[in-house]
A = this chain, B = another copy of it.
Amino acid sequence: MRVSVAQLNPTIGDLKGNTAKVLAAIEKGRADQADIILCPELTIAGYLPQDLLFHDAFINAEEECLKEIVKASQEICVVVGLVRHNTGKGKDLFNSAAMISDGQILGYYNKRLLPNYDVFNERRYFEPGKEKKIWEIKGKRVAVIICEDIWRHSGYVDTRYREDPVVDLADDEVDILLNLSASPYQFDKPDVRVEVCANAAKTLKCPVFLCCQVGANDDLVFDGYSVCVDEHGNLREMGKGFAEDQFTVDLSAPTCNVPFTYDPLYDLYRALVLGVHDYFTKQGFTKALVGLSGGIDSALVACIAAEALGGENVLGVSMPSRYSSEGSVVDAEQLAKNLGMGFKKISIEKPFGEFLSLLEPIFEGKPVDVTEENLQARTRGIILMAISNKLGHIVLSTGNKSELGLGYCTLYGDMCGGLGVISDVLKTQVYDLSRWINRDKEVIPWSTIEKPPSAELRPDQIDLDSLPDYGLIDKMIKGYLEERLPTEVAASRYGIPLDVMHDLVTRLYRAEYKRRQAAPGIRVSKKAFSIGRSYPIVQGWR
């Protein structure tokens, strides 16, 4: 028995394009003499079409695509993910897998455990399936489950589900377990999937295949890394990270334990690059625009954009004011040169000055405050958006997670942009990534990395004037936000003085209104601001 795992990168709702990928995977599998082709969760629709699923035309069009796939399945077995109507009680739809063999649909499996936490909202659309499904394929008993169904068995889920679909198969003498997945990337966690498959393999005493979606859709990045483990839980084969891939395993061949190693920083970088790449190419955009302040955040975003789109497709704009240091402009220009990017320099002094004069009668008698700083950031935002409108470049937003967490950013100013590239990357990780990018040669000018962070919005300003040390901020975000520890526990575990901690948590909630209007951001952590987190703006809890 030979199983081919087709780790595909679908575009949400591009049903025909996604179906073409399945047809190509069938041909590739056929060439590899595969008996079964396993595709990812919601293969035809992509994960997740959200409210597009409420359109009957969408579900019907998916059914037409399924017919194409059935037609292409002569003398081979194909397992594809799709959405189907539920005519019974509960929600209108099922998150299903079709078992197709030799031009016929043998049946469907409906996902039983529907995640409804963090970024997942499957209960909005789907009714949980009630039955396990095992098919006999070439004399082997093949069971099919979908994503979350396998995770509960290892406890890596956020709900105490009543059922364990893996345990439910324990007495069924299953020969092969197939899982269709769409499991999103998370920093420093890809090895968990191997463990999850190994646990299921040991319980069922059979090999397990986990076919993952790869690619990015809006905020979510899927890293691939599909898995095959043998009946002892040893890793036999793994799909590539951050790229489409297809591999075929001959289950009658002798097994060997493949080691899985990965580089967390390199993967974080690849996740961000893929996030930018797919946001652009799946919409038909080719060119990006980045405001280059000479600081480390915009430098990192420029590196990621240049890697994703080619340096020649990224335009950097330096927009100095009276408060910008000469070094910042020089650094920005050097970075653009290092990356092969276009570069423009536009001083904001004149429009900034005009705004100040216009507003003088209204501002009279009031002290200079954050207003004048925001005015500079917004003047820059306007310039970037105007260039974007005229030239068709998409603006990339350069704010990091630490800033966004505390609201240390200007709405309609530096928050402008179609995509928040590093909005889920902590400031300390921004440093780590930048040093990693410079590991062999200076790509980001070292002076950008080594100078104290500053918004350069007033004379001699540095971030430390307004904020605690970024090390403390990032610990708060890790402990309080990502690990959801109580305030006091997070403070003591991470060594944050309690008064600093309370101040940080207050700032976190106060900035909710800004984040509500932020660009979508590439999610790379356990708990991002972009999606998967939902707090009221108007509220009395602190």
Nearest-Cβ distance from residue A119 to partner chain B, whole angstroms: 11
Give the residues in chain B near A387, CB-CB below 8 Å: 359, 362
Binds B, one of A63-71, A177-185, A277-285, A431-439: A277-285
A135 at the interface (CB under 8 A from B): no
**Which of B11, B159, B160, B484 makes the CB contact (< 8 A) with A540?**
B11
**Which of B517, B536, B539 makes the CB contact (< 8 A) with A517?**
B517
A205 at the interface (CB under 8 A from B): no
Contact call A541/B363, Cβ cutoff below 8 A: no
A255 at the interface (CB under 8 A from B): no
A133 at the interface (CB under 8 A from B): no
Nearest-Cβ distance from residue A447 to partner chain B, whole angstroms: 27
Q: Which 4 A-B pairs have the closest CB atoms?
A: A14-B540, A13-B541, A371-B389, A123-B123
Cα-based distance from A123 to B90 in the complex (angstroms): 13
Closest to A390 in B: B371
Contact call A359/B383, Cβ cutoff below 8 A: yes
Interface centre among A484, A519, A537, A538 (most CB of B within 10 A): A538
Supposing A14-B540, A346-B358, A516-B520 touch, asked if A534 and B51 sit within 8 A by C-beta, the answer is yes
Cα-based distance from A418 to B412 in the complex (angstroms): 12
Query: Which A residues, 519 to 542, have Cβ-Cβ distances below 8 Å to chain B?
Result: 519-520, 533-541
* A 201-214 to B, binary, CB cutoff 8 A, 1 in contact else 0: 00000000000000
Nearest-Cβ distance from residue A116 to partner chain B, whole angstroms: 5
Give the residues in chain B near A344, CB-CB below 8 Å: 362
**Which of B89, B162, B513 makes the CB contact (< 8 A) with A160?**
B89
A307 at the interface (CB under 8 A from B): no
A287 at the interface (CB under 8 A from B): no
Cα-based distance from A411 to B386 in the complex (angstroms): 11
How many residues of A are counted as interface, with CB atoms below 8 angstroms from the partner's CB atoms? Answer: 89
Can you list 10 A-B pairs with a CB-CB distance of less than 8 A?
A12-B540, A13-B541, A90-B161, A121-B121, A283-B537, A347-B358, A378-B385, A412-B412, A516-B519, A517-B517
Give the residues in chain B near A350, CB-CB below 8 Å: 354, 357-358
Supposing A418-B513, A533-B51 touch, asked if A57 and B487 sit within 8 A by C-beta, the answer is yes
Give the residues in chain B near A513, CB-CB below 8 Å: 418
Assembly stoichiometry (copies): 2
Closest to A114 in B: B123
Nearest-Cβ distance from residue A42 to partner chain B, whole angstroms: 12
Cα-based distance from A157 to B533 in the complex (angstroms): 26
Give the residues in chain B near A536, CB-CB below 8 Å: 12-13, 48-50, 52, 217-218
Query: Which A residues, 351 to 374, have Cβ-Cβ distances below 8 Å to chain B?
Result: 351, 354-355, 357-359, 362-363, 366, 369-371, 374
Contact call B11/A538, Cβ cutoff below 8 A: yes
A382 at the interface (CB under 8 A from B): yes
| Inter-chain pairs besides A121-B124, A344-B362, 5 sampled, C-beta below 8 Å | A12-B538, A12-B540, A14-B539, A58-B541, A117-B124
Closest to A388 in B: B371
Nearest-Cβ distance from residue A449 to partner chain B, whole angstroms: 30
A381 at the interface (CB under 8 A from B): yes
A139 at the interface (CB under 8 A from B): no
Nearest-Cβ distance from residue A527 to partner chain B, whole angstroms: 10
Cα-based distance from A52 to B508 in the complex (angstroms): 13
Nearest-Cβ distance from residue A385 to partner chain B, whole angstroms: 6
A55 at the interface (CB under 8 A from B): yes
Nearest-Cβ distance from residue A421 to partner chain B, whole angstroms: 15
Give the residues in chain B near A48, CB-CB below 8 Å: 536
Contact call B354/A370, Cβ cutoff below 8 A: no
Cα-based distance from A124 to B118 in the complex (angstroms): 8
Give the residues in chain B near A89, CB-CB below 8 Å: 160-162
**Which of B46, B279, B382 makes the CB contact (< 8 A) with A412?**
B382
Closest to A516 in B: B520
Cα-based distance from A218 to B387 in the complex (angstroms): 34
A334 at the interface (CB under 8 A from B): no
Contact call B412/A386, Cβ cutoff below 8 A: no
Nearest-Cβ distance from residue A279 to partner chain B, whole angstroms: 6
